[in-house]
Amino acid sequence: MTDEERRQLIESLEGKRGKRQLLKGLGIPESTYYSWRQGNIGMDTGKQKPVARRIWNRLTAEEETVVTTAAKAHPELSPRLLAVKITDESDFYVSESKVYSLLKAKGLIAPRPMAELPAAKEWRHKTSRPNELWQIDGTNFFVVNWGYYKLLPVLDDYSRKIVGWELAPDETGSSASQALESAIENAGIKALPKESRPTLLSDNGSGFVSEVLAKYLGYHGIRHIFGKPYHPQTQGKVERFNRRIKEGVCMLVYCSPSELKAAIKDGIERYNATPHEGLKNVSPNDVYAGKKEEVLRLRAEKKARTLAKRKAINLKVEGSQEKC
């Protein structure tokens, strides 16, 4: 096999699935193929010489400008969120790895944050639609001269959207009922038949096992189930949200409950609109609204167009350089 034939083989197999079977059918060991791919394409004499590998997926100059401009305008965004934002708002697709590599090369990358704890395993009965299962859990916030206040968010398990919440000075059955009241109003649950209403998952906190909450849930036809005692990971998704909202909101000092409430409202709105890694980088708002597949379809189409265009540009440039 000549050098040119080997190059053509490498290009034809690039990105294809079932590569192992194709190589087996051609009688070429995988180790030999990957050696060629790394640039060790030997002449027919058996002598090896390094050959520059064509990088057809290199960002164009215009794309690099868009990425660096977006990074400077939004230093708070991670490479993942920048990649999603650019893909959704511009006319080309870019991957998280491409964004990270470019920003690192230009000295624009921030230190990686501490690894975020996973949201534990899925609930044993995986949900298949919005408003099938809600999770509720409380977390504390401190207000100067007022003491601790309890945030009670209600999270939709399927979309991870915060559908309702309450900020209260305690975690009682009444405050939990108020949080659920906002969720019921926002989700339009009263219009649903009782068999289609959500199930509520909580821990065994005093407010959640109270008679007040039990009567409220019974009136609205919402079934209540409890996680394992001393095992908060059962409510992993809402626990993870609580950590995230505290990381953002607790960066400031609040002197009144109204200040804290306004900050939490903004934080929840940002969270619901932010692409979520566990949702294939679709936002909780879009998943809850049933737009997930449409968002993914549009991104896939944009990716295919971008890669084809980028390949044509890069190979044309490299071809002209080789002639020179």
The secondary structure of 5-26 as a DSSP string is HHHHHHHHHTT-S-HHHHHHHH
The encoded tokens of residue 121 equal: 């395993």
Higher pLDDT, 235 or 257: 257
Asked if pLDDT for residue 124 goes beyond 60, the answer is no
Closest to 297 measured CA to CA, from 309, 312, 310, 280: 280
Cα torsion 86, 88, 90, 91: sign: positive
Q: For the structural domain made of 133-274, what CATH number should be given?
A: 3.30.420.10
Contact between 273 and 159 under an 8 Å Cβ cutoff? The reply is: no
Asked if pLDDT for residue 49 goes beyond 70, the answer is no
For CATH 3.30.420.10, list the domain ranges present in the chain.
Answer: 133-274
Distance, CA of 100 to CA of 62 (rounded, Å): 17
Summarize pLDDT for 150-169 with one digit per residue, the tens. Answer: 999 999 999 999 999 999 99
The encoded tokens of residue 273 equal: 């609109």
pLDDT for 46 equals 46
State the chain's mean pLDDT as an integer.
86
Distance, CA of 259 to CA of 254 (rounded, Å): 6
Give the model's confidence band at 53: pLDDT under 50 very low, under 70 low, under 90 confident, else very high: low
Strand pairing report for 40-42 and 162-168: unpaired
Give the model's confidence band at 19: pLDDT under 50 very low, under 70 low, under 90 confident, else very high: confident
Give the model's confidence band at 145: pLDDT under 50 very low, under 70 low, under 90 confident, else very high: very high
Summarize pLDDT for 251-266 with one digit per residue, the tens. Answer: 788 999 999 999 999 9
Distance, CA of 13 to CA of 100 (rounded, Å): 26
What is the pTM (predicted TM-score) of this model? 0.75
Give the model's confidence band at 318: pLDDT under 50 very low, under 70 low, under 90 confident, else very high: low
Distance, CA of 106 to CA of 267 (rounded, Å): 31
Summarize pLDDT for 263-290 with one digit per residue, the tens. Answer: 999 999 999 999 999 999 999 999 999 9
Neighbour-count burial for 205-223, b at 16+ CB within 10 Å, e otherwise: eebbebeebeebbeebebe
